[in-house]
């Protein structure tokens, strides 16, 4: 509810007049209409802290979570973008962690 209250205050203060972007509070993703297109793209991004020591399992959980947002909008996933934060460390360990994600 806190986030909804903040978003409502922002929406009431600023005018969002971009008809090519469709997003409402509570949506899992935003619909974006590219120029000269009849269809929309569905964009979603999530960020949450990793509470696991297994980077591979965390990667699977992250992918499943991101895909669920797309499916919740009744869309078909065609691409993905991964955002990850890996703590500083020895290059070989950082490389191994990224490969497992």
Q: Judge if pTM exceeds 0.75.
A: no
Give the rounded percent of residues in the chain with a pLDDT score beyond 90: 0
Q: What integer pLDDT is reported at residue 17 of this predicted model?
A: 59
Please write the tens of the pLDDT for every residue from 2-27: 767 877 777 777 665 555 556 665 56
DSSP secondary structure string, the chain?
A: -HHHHHHHHHHHHS----TTEE--TT-SSEEE--TT-SS-EEE---------S-HHHHHHHHHHHHHHHHHHTT-------------S--HHHHHHHHHH-
């Amino acid at each position: 509810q806190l986030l909804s209250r903040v978003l409502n205050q922002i929406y009431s203060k600023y005018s969002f007049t971009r008809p090519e972007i469709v997003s409402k509070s509570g949506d899992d993703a935003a619909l974006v209409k590219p120029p000269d297109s009849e269809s929309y793209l569905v964009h979603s991004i999530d960020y949450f802290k990793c509470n696991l020591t297994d980077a591979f399992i965390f990667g699977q959980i992250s992918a499943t979570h991101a895909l669920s947002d797309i499916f919740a909008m009744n869309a078909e996933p065609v691409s993905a973008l991964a955002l990850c934060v890996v703590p500083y460390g020895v290059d070989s360990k950082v490389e191994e962690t990224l490969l497992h994600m």
